[in-house]
Amino acid sequence: MDTRDIAVAKAETRRAVAESLAQLTPSRRRAAGIAVAQRVAGLPVVQAARTLMAFLSLPTEIDTWPLLRWAWGDGKRIAVPRIEAAGGTAATLRQRTMVAVLLAPADVEGVATHPAVRPGPLGILEVPDAPPVAVAELDVLLMPCQAVDRRGNRLGKGGGFFDQFLRMPGLRAARIVLAFHEQVLDEVPVGENDVPVEMIVSDAEVLTFSVGRGAPRPT
């Protein structure tokens, strides 16, 4: 499959998954966020971690707030993504990069009500005024997806920021995707720049992979 065919296949997969996610009820979304948080909190690699990097979830994504509250209660630091532009506010996607910044604990009802969180220039929730966290300090990286397959291939929203971040020198963090069960497919289209993950945690199961081999290990 050439580059153009892969791009078309990715767009079709993103659209199909978006239609599936649109059918989820608010109660199902809440329950899924809690179930994923419980599964992640029970992982040995997460229990041993000092610093987690997690995404600030949008309404279409697994709610990460239950997990963040648990992590703070367990004494962990939380880092979150921030998209920075090398060329100012008019920068193209290629001129933007993702960095990790610290998120301070807050006793609020959800991610969007955290006093330090604001919508970023790309519509992603961010912390505009926060100190950076060196990638070498990250023990676990919890990532969103549009879809992910049962061999550890992740399909993002199209910006490529996480794939770029995963290639940063010094990053040793365990790579874990959080997903609704509806986002876990048998196969997703991938290109040469897509980086596989080590684990998928959904509200239905946990899948662990030998990165580079794509073979799931029972968990």
Strands (E), the chain: 51-54, 77-85, 96-103, 118-119, 125-126, 140-143, 147-149, 154-155, 174-179, 184-185, 199-202, 206-210, 215-217
Nearest CA to 201 out of 67, 80, 77 is that of 67
The answer to whether 154 and 198 are in contact (CB under 8 A) is no
Q: Is the pLDDT of residue 215 over 60?
A: no
pLDDT at 52: 98
More confident residue, 3 or 163: 163
pLDDT at 94: 61
Mean pLDDT, residues 166-189 taken together = 96
pLDDT at 217: 42
Architecture label for domain 3-211: 3-Layer(aba) Sandwich (3.40)
Tell me the pLDDT tens digit for each residue of 49-108.
999 999 999 989 999 999 999 999 999 999 999 998 765 555 555 667 899 999 999 999
User: Among 67-76, 126-135, 154-163, where is mean pLDDT lowest?
Assistant: 154-163
pLDDT at 219: 44
pLDDT at 214: 43
Task: Give the SS3 label for residue 175.
Answer: strand
Nearest CA to 151 out of 61, 211, 219 is that of 211
Hey, what are 58's tokens?
Answer: 């949008």
Average pLDDT of the chain to the nearest whole number:
90
Helix and strand counts by DSSP (H, E) for the chain? 5, 13
pLDDT at 93: 54
Q: Is the pLDDT of residue 212 over 80?
A: no
More confident residue, 36 or 219: 36
Instruction: Give the start-to-end residue ranges of the domains of the chain.
Output: 3-211
More confident residue, 29 or 191: 29
Nearest CA to 127 out of 62, 96, 162, 81 is that of 81
| Confidence bin at 3 (pLDDT 50/70/90) | confident
pLDDT at 108: 94
| Cα 157 to Cα 118: distance, rounded to the nearest angstrom | 20
